[in-house]
Structure 1
């Protein structure tokens, strides 16, 4: 492997890994706040991207307004799921397996809705920064990829600040760690859970909007994004949302480097095989036991 090819693979891996990290972050946020594995996380990306396409191409909205509408649609979809399905099931004492089955069913439902409203065609959004490219050492990177990584980093830092330095963020952390104890000191546990679904939906939509200028979005991409995000979250430690960032970047790099060494048809096999090996050697995730407590 020459230096140019290696550099290009690393750049591609960081770009893809940033998308996986945002999906995994949203999934881990919901799990941390509600103890629910949200299989609909990738569908939030589809909903957000298709809403942005609709507002931009059919309604003629300015691009920033279309992107904001896409993020809002993902966030509101997450909020609706909590209100219409999660809250009633909690009142009936549903267990974790029931919620997993619920989100699987909702994932197929959202995919079908995307097919109905968006059709079978794949959709693209304009690239941020146009079609420009930047030379980074031996690698050639699209300007949009740099925007993607930068926006993902800002989102992660903003979310980390929110959790650690705002009363609402600290309340969510307290409610996720000890719901009965948090309730006794006045924390609205149900409101904190709703906010985690709102955040999860928004994060998924951001990931979908950012990736759509690079990879055309269609109705059946949600499950693939969910699987990549889930792998990222597991690698980083599912109970630590920010561990998903590390997991997503590792997954993206492994995929890109596998593509350099092996034929493209083996990319997924090699990447997942290496991830299995990592989990066998580090069953608590890349960050270990200490990382599972963080976030």
Structure 2
């Protein structure tokens, strides 16, 4: 570990600035991929059901808490706890669709009621986490070892490399899922034209349930990936949802790939704001720039075609 200790006083100021910039850029990419995973899950649900899911961040909290309980409370193997954490997000997503969304669709509920519903469910989950697990924050062990690496003068923890790699694989895998698999194509058809899809034998209701399961699993995966870096507690779900919404809207709310790009842009802007100004103003600067971007490009970063892409 001593080989990574750097004597800052002996280094030129320009080298220090390069190192600071590289470290900030890496942090921005890491945070951006976290926002991207939340945004991808949110976009996947909206793409398949037209439901704006304002509780997407709570999937992350539930997934992370399940892994913490199974790993530290019951001594389960890490890989099995992670698998169960992902499944918990999928099961929660299916429950919400069956218990609430399906009933509201059957009764022709207005669009804004879905937003209010998911806000209420998100607050209820947050309150349940506070009641059962308290205000304590929870951390998970990092994936792999605890090694540190130097990349472009920035110190990188091994788990961050895992996070970046898994996030990229999930994004590419989701794109291929929608484009090449039978279930993915049916989910897209059911979301674009429910009546037409039903007329050719597609179970539109089942596809919508699959959509919520997919969004829940992606949200849980995001929570599991960030918990070795950022402590998870009952309050973090709302913060993740807001950043995920920003990422999804920036990239095109019906396009999971666009949400991934939007998350990266959001994370990098946020990191550069911290370097250039102050961490106290990072959200103000970040969202002000996002407003300007959306005014200039109201269809999102990928344009009109990107809003309907997969």
TM-score (norm 2): 0.94
Further displaced range: 210-219 or 123-132: 123-132
Matched, 1:34 2:54: no
By how many angstroms is 1:158 displaced? 1.5
Matched, 1:116 2:131: yes
The structure 2 residue matched to 1:161, chosen from 167, 176, 190, is 176
Query: What CA RMSD, in Å, does the superposition of the two structures yield over aligned residues?
Result: 0.9
CA distance in 2, matches of 1:152, 1:274: 25
By how many angstroms is 1:217 displaced? 0.3
Partner residue in 1 for 2:5 = none
The structure 1 residue matched to 2:87, chosen from 72, 77, 83, is 72
By how many angstroms is 1:270 displaced? 0.8
The structure 1 residue matched to 2:120, chosen from 91, 105, 123, is 105
Matched, 1:203 2:218: yes
CA distance in 2, matches of 1:293, 1:200: 17
User: Gaps (5+ residues) in structure 2?
Assistant: 1-13
Partner residue in 1 for 2:58 = 43
CA distance in 2, matches of 1:225, 1:118: 19
By how many angstroms is 1:43 displaced? 0.2
Corresponding residue SS for 2:149:
strand
By how many angstroms is 1:95 displaced? 1.4
Partner residue in 1 for 2:6 = none
Partner residue in 2 for 1:189 = 204
Deviations 1:214-250 (A, max 9, x none): 0100011000000000000000000112100000000
User: Gaps (5+ residues) in structure 1?
Assistant: none
Corresponding residue SS for 1:293:
coil
CA distance in 1, matches of 2:251, 2:243: 12
Partner residue in 2 for 1:143 = 158
The structure 2 residue matched to 1:215, chosen from 230, 239, 243, is 230
By how many angstroms is 1:130 displaced? 2.9
Partner residue in 2 for 1:243 = 258
By how many angstroms is 1:263 displaced? 1.4
- Paired residues in the alignment total 295
Deviation >4 Å, runs of 4+:
none
CA distance in 2, matches of 1:246, 1:166: 23
Corresponding residue SS for 1:93:
coil
Partner residue in 2 for 1:20 = 35
